[in-house]
Structure 1
């Protein structure tokens, strides 16, 4: 029959020899849900802006509506572009809970952490929206816009939580 092939004993590994990268644990369910929730926080404001771009005043006075939309196509185009870019930025949160690898974990954590800080500075003031009158809007419109933009306040803390989880799962 066949001859047995002798197997050499495994060579001892050197103390500083590189080891195979350890597998990254999967994101916990709460982090996946939080990442998906981020995409929903941007949706009401995006849909509201698209409605304004389509010609619906959605709470603006006549003068306020003319000012926000402008006279040409640039105003509506800007509102749609802003909505698309905002939603795209929110969708990037999903990178933190998937096995996708765009950058090194350190760079990804730095970008996401910086994003959370910027978003907190940008959207947290909307907690006080109702305390500041807006002459360009009707009373009902001012109330509506407050509720439409309020979910954006949750974007920063949700992103921060998912970022911390990402960092913990990827640290060596």
Structure 2
């Protein structure tokens, strides 16, 4: 098996940013899965099967998508690997590749803005939901979710 090659003329900052994305998104997924399985990373007022399914589904969808980001700067991002049924060996559509990154970035940027607004305005402070309790859970939340703020910055540079 040959090692995937970097594309020619890819700036170093772009390669570093693209390869950093999976590391930025993974901690939030791990925290969501831990919360779903009852690890005390936060308190859920009304745990339900629907919430558990949502948290796992979000992680199952987000994680594979963030692992596609290095394809923007690697050879396999221009041609589908031969091992993929139906698509193998065909070129990746430029429109699909270049619209997926800004879509994910825009979504994270919007969520970051919304959650920042909610935190600063104090909205929903006593509402039922998921709450961090104490400095350890707050620090864990920050460590898991603050890296997501860097993703829009890496993608729009």
TM bucket, shorter chain: 0.5 to 0.7
Compared with structure 1, are the counterparts of its residues 34 and 142 closer, same or farther at alpha carbon in structure 2 (3 Å cutoff)? same
Counterpart secondary structure, 1:78: helix
User: Of 65, 71, 75, which residue of structure 1 is paired with 2:51?
Assistant: 75
Counterpart secondary structure, 2:67: helix
The residue number in structure 2 matching 1:146 is: 142
The residue number in structure 2 matching 1:167 is: none
Give aligned pairs, total: 131
State the superposition RMSD in angstroms: 2.6
Shift of 1:143: 4.8
Compared with structure 1, are the counterparts of its residues 110 and 77 closer, same or farther at alpha carbon in structure 2 (3 Å cutoff)? closer
Superimposed CA distance per residue, residues 14-48 of structure 1 (whole angstroms, 9 cap, x where no aligned partner): xxxxxxxxxx6242332221112111111111111
The residue number in structure 2 matching 1:155 is: 151
The residue number in structure 2 matching 1:118 is: 107
Partners of 2:143 and 2:117 in 1: CA distance: 11
The residue number in structure 1 matching 2:65 is: 89
Unpaired runs of at least 5, structure 2: 1-6, 81-91
Shift of 1:58: 1.1
Q: Is the 8 A contact 2:35 2:42 kept in 1?
A: no
Shift of 1:57: 2.8
The residue number in structure 2 matching 1:164 is: none
Q: Is the 8 A contact 1:127 1:150 kept in 2?
A: no
Unpaired runs of at least 5, structure 1: 1-23, 162-172
TM-score, structure 2 as length reference: 0.67
The residue number in structure 2 matching 1:52 is: 35
The residue number in structure 2 matching 1:5 is: none
